[in-house]
């Protein structure tokens, strides 16, 4: 009779395999916020400290290279996005960031067409933060107005220094006058902009570092990024290292910069980021909160959360190769799923950049793991006095907090 027999469901996998799968694979209830990163890989010339995927135009003008017309690269970006749509169906874009390279080399008309194409394929959050990086040496008032009209609502200017000697040492194409002019033009078109500054420059003194900061503060920027020059592998500086200030002097620079910015009313919310209240960079906050980002363009990286895994991707690096691979329908050069055991490490690597740390629910939603899953490792570190000994020595300073963050991340990685 109907209902007299018990129904048995046969699993698609053996029971032992199912149990192992449940333990080893994360299960995400909902994806995190999604950002879009767009990479523009050209600069007028390559800076000697830069290890980003950027390529010199090797010409005196500020036009896109004749070998790859702007229209061809923009069309490739749209095709790249279209190939990735199945991975992000039904999700909206919370922020957009045009990085490089020097995105301000794009024409206003080209950027307008690109943003229209992006919006027609993915829904943008109303009022989404849309940032474009700009080099002061490529600034034109008409171009900035066109960028604003196209939909850019946040600008990030790579000032680095106002000292002509230091700008020359850094290989920058702008001088101090062009830096000030660029900020003035940016402020006339954008009420939200960032200024990048560097310290620990070749031959730099503490007074010179603070003079750069004071020059920037004179423009009342909503956001400042202040970071120490470091020598990265595969750069001109790595091949021919300049003489940099001693570590103690760089530490004094950082402490003095933080104190001056605090006195000026800036919130220090991330290792090298300072903002007026409400002006924190939403795109970068999504990175540090271990959110998702789709990266398109030559060499762009991405992180996407699916229902059962976190996927990392990298596009082909060389612009010519990227265009060829996009045309072949294969823009992704590398793709892999992050192992569940590595998710705590990757989360900490990002979240511990934030000065205020993070809440347990954020860890759990971004990794599909309970914070209790790493409690044993944290307790072991505490019992061994590993963290407390360092805290007593160095925690009061920002250098101390950064050291503790690196220590915790390193411990989690070793213990895992």
pLDDT tens digit at each of 416 positions of the chain: 444 444 444 344 344 433 444 445 789 989 999 999 999 999 888 888 888 888 887 543 444 555 589 999 999 999 999 999 999 999 999 999 999 989 999 999 999 999 999 999 999 999 999 999 999 987 777 889 999 999 999 999 999 999 999 999 999 989 999 999 999 999 999 999 999 999 999 999 999 999 999 999 999 999 999 999 999 998 999 899 999 999 999 999 999 999 999 999 999 999 999 999 999 999 999 999 999 999 999 999 999 999 999 999 999 999 999 999 999 999 999 999 999 989 988 998 899 889 888 888 999 999 999 888 777 766 665 566 544 444 443 333 444 444 445 555 555 555 44
One domain for residues 96 and 199: yes
- Domain membership of residue 351 (yes or no) is yes
Q: What secondary structure does DSSP assign to 307-342, as a single string?
A: SS-EEEEEE-SSHHHHHHHHHTT--EEEEEEPPGGG
- Other C-beta atoms lying within 10 Å of the C-beta of residue 317: 15
List Cβ neighbours of 27 (8 Å cut-off, separation of 6 or more): 307, 308, 368
pLDDT the model gives residue 410: 53
Q: Are 166 and 197 in contact (CB under 8 A)?
A: no
One domain for residues 124 and 210: yes
One domain for residues 68 and 184: yes
Sheet containing 193-199: order of strands: 267-270, 273-275, 223-228, 193-199, 154-160, 124-134, 93-100, 34-40, 292-296, 301-305, 310-315, 332-337
One domain for residues 91 and 213: yes
Q: 140-145, long-range: CB within 8 Å, 24+ apart, which pairs?
A: 141/185, 141/188, 142/108, 143/104, 143/107, 143/108, 144/185, 144/186, 144/188, 144/189, 144/190, 145/108, 145/189
Predicted TM-score of the model (pTM): 0.86
Q: Which residue range is the domain that position 91 belongs to?
A: 34-286
- Domain membership of residue 24 (yes or no) is no
Q: How far apart are CA 187 and CA 190, in angstroms?
A: 5
- Domain membership of residue 313 (yes or no) is no
One domain for residues 276 and 363: no
Residue with tokens 């940032």: 131
One domain for residues 269 and 349: no
Q: How far apart are CA 155 and CA 384, in angstroms?
A: 47
One domain for residues 56 and 146: yes
User: The domain that contains 400 carries what CATH number?
Assistant: 1.10.10.10
Domains contained in the chain, number: 2
User: The domain that contains 86 carries what CATH number?
Assistant: 3.20.20.70
């Amino acid at each position: 009779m109907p209902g007299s027999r018990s129904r048995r469901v046969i699993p698609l996998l053996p029971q032992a395999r199912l149990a192992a799968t449940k333990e080893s694979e994360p299960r995400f209830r909902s994806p995190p916020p999604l950002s879009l990163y767009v990479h523009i890989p050209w600069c007028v010339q390559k800076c000697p400290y830069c290890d980003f995927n950027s390529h010199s135009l090797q010409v005196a003008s500020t036009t896109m290279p004749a070998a790859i017309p702007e229209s061809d690269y923009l069309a490739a970006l749209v095709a790249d996005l279209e190939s990735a749509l199945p991975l992000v169906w039904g999700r909206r874009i919370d922020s957009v960031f045009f990085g490089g390279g020097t995105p301000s080399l794009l024409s206003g008309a080209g950027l307008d067409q690109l943003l229209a194409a992006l919006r027609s394929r993915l829904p943008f959050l109303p009022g989404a933060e849309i940032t474009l990086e700009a080099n002061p040496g490529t600034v034109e008032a008409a171009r900035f107005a066109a960028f604003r009209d196209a939909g850019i609502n946040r600008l990030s200017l790579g000032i680095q220094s106002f000292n002509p000697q230091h700008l020359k040492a850094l290989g920058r194409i702008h001088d101090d006058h062009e830096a000030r002019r660029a900020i003035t033009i940016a402020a006339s078109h954008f009420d939200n902009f960032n200024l990048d500054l560097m310290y620990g420059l070749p031959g730099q003194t503490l007074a010179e570092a603070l003079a750069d900061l004071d020059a920037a503060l004179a423009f009342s920027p909503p956001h400042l990024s202040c970071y120490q020059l470091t020598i990265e592998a595969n750069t001109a500086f790595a091949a021919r290292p300049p003489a940099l200030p001693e570590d103690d002097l760089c530490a004094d620079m950082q402490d003095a910069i933080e104190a001056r910015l605090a006195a000026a009313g800036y919130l220090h919310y991330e290792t090298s980021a300072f903002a007026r209240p409400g002006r924190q960079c939403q795109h970068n906050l999504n990175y540090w909160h271990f959110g998702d980002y789709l990266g398109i363009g030559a060499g762009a990286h991405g992180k996407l959360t699916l229902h059962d895994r976190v996927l990392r991707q990298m596009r082909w690096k060389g612009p010519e190769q990227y265009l060829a691979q996009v045309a072949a329908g294969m823009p992704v050069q590398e793709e892999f799923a992050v192992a569940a055991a590595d998710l705590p490490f990757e989360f900490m690597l990002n979240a511990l950049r934030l000065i205020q740390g993070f809440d347990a629910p954020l860890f759990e939603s971004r990794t599909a793991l309970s914070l209790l899953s790493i409690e044993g490792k944290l307790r072991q570190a505490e019992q061994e006095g590993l963290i407390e000994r360092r805290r007593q020595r160095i925690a009061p300073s920002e250098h101390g907090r950064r050291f503790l963050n690196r220590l915790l991340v390193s411990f989690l990685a070793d213990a895992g």
